Structure 1
Amino acid sequence: MSWKSGSRRTLLGAATGATLLAATGGRQAAAANGLQRLTEHPEPQPLPEGLSFTDAEGKPFGFEGFRGKALVVNFWATWCPPCVAEMPALDRLHGMVARDGIEVLALSNDRGGRAQVEPFYQRTNLRRLAIWLDPRGATGRALSVRVLPTTLIIDRRGLEVARLMGEAEWDQPEVVAAIRRLTRTPASAETSTRT
């Protein structure tokens, strides 16, 4: 799947972007929270089939195991300074959106797996995020993740609706609002699944 600039639009280029800019006090505030890099796809993108990652115990999982939930999937590593900087905000985001049926999956690319990630979680006092591992980076490669951190927003149908490359302030109100809006299932999709 190609992510050409002609096949996507940035959130701030969209009508909602103008509202978010006004709400945050202008471009400087939006740049600080990372929204200027959030790219919303005009057409939701299906995920490749057969993607697999593991939990802390080494049990294989796929995105289909979260069917019906929206996902914020963050690809990160302990050796990546911007990744490390945004982890506390991702942990807080998880606490803010879990009751909305939105899961935050932080998929570690650390080759050391749990033995490397668990001490990092303890040192940084991450309490809400579960440990998820993609140590060989296969899931990231299949999803065209080229830089860390990269975050995918996946709606309740299992479709990628947006992506952000780089660090963001995930727990800021305007970012949380954008995630909630992006992961809402369109009414037409809800009615077609009920019939």
Structure 2
Amino acid sequence: MNKKHLAAYVGVALLFAASGAWVGFNKQHAAPITTTAPAGVTGPVGALYAQTLPDAKGAPTALAQYKGKAMLVNFWAPWCAPCVQEMPELSELAAGEAGKKLQVIGIGIDSPSNIAAFSDKYKITYPVLVAGMSGTELSRQFGNTGGGLPYTVLIGADGQVKKTYLGRLKFDELRKDLATL
């Protein structure tokens, strides 16, 4: 390994350390997240329905209100380029014909201020909620063991996980999966 590579690795490591410290510091200012599981639902979907997360403006949103409706839950962050790239197509999906039968939800893994600034800048047609770093743990319950983003979960109206997607969505594949709901 030459000195240029070593310097690059050290620079990236310092960047990640500083980002982690910043997120940790700002996490104490995040809106409280409450959990109350709805009756009869267990596993990761039960954990999802148990969440009450603030939206980008800070208003609490109980995810239990979506019980009984098919859902597409997208774990994302404003600093994640593939997450941002797929948002216009997710907005189009939510606003279109599929959005009548499917609830699209974005769960942001970042600080409330960053997600609010992002939401003010971009027109997103589906609920964008703030989970902070606890969103990573919630995505892990759905099988995202590495904590990669974006991570999307397709949940049927029956409360069963139909499919998970790691990385930028392939919308042709997603539309085929939606047709099986």
- Output the TM-score relative to the length of structure 2: 0.63
Q: 1:144 to 1:86 in 2, by over 3 A?
A: same
State the SS of the aligned residue for 1:47: helix
Tell me the distance in 2 between the aligned counterparts of 1:180 and 1:94.
15
Q: What's 2:75 paired with?
A: 75
State the SS of the aligned residue for 1:120: helix
Q: 1:48 to 1:123 in 2, by over 3 A?
A: closer
Tell me the distance in 1 between the aligned counterparts of 2:131 and 2:176.
28
Deviation at 1:48, TM superposition (A): 5.3
Tell me the distance in 2 between the aligned counterparts of 1:120 and 1:141.
24
- Please tell me whether the aligned partners of residues 105 and 132 of structure 1 are also in contact (alpha carbons under 8 angstroms): yes
Answering whether residue 66 of structure 2 is matched by residue 66 of structure 1, we say yes
Higher RCO by CA contacts (8 Å cutoff, separation 6 or greater):
1
Q: How many residues align?
A: 131
State the SS of the aligned residue for 2:93: helix
Identity percentage of aligned residues: 24
Q: 1:48 to 1:152 in 2, by over 3 A?
A: closer
Which consecutive aligned stretches of 4+ in structure 1 deviate over 6 angstroms post-superposition?
Answer: none
- Please tell me whether the aligned partners of residues 76 and 149 of structure 1 are also in contact (alpha carbons under 8 angstroms): yes
- Please tell me whether the aligned partners of residues 118 and 131 of structure 1 are also in contact (alpha carbons under 8 angstroms): no
Q: 1:106 to 1:159 in 2, by over 3 A?
A: same
1:73 partner amino acid: V
- Please tell me whether the aligned partners of residues 74 and 106 of structure 1 are also in contact (alpha carbons under 8 angstroms): yes
State the SS of the aligned residue for 1:75: strand
Tell me the distance in 2 between the aligned counterparts of 1:59 and 1:166.
28
Tell me the distance in 1 between the aligned counterparts of 2:174 and 2:44.
23
Q: What's 2:141 paired with?
A: 142
Q: 1:48 to 1:129 in 2, by over 3 A?
A: closer
Q: What's 2:157 paired with?
A: 156
2:155 partner amino acid: I
State the SS of the aligned residue for 1:106: strand
Q: Which has the larger radius of gyration?
A: 2
RMSD: 2.2
2:95 partner amino acid: G
Q: Could you tell me which runs of 5 or more consecutive residues in structure 1 were left unpaired when the two chains were aligned.
A: 1-44, 185-195
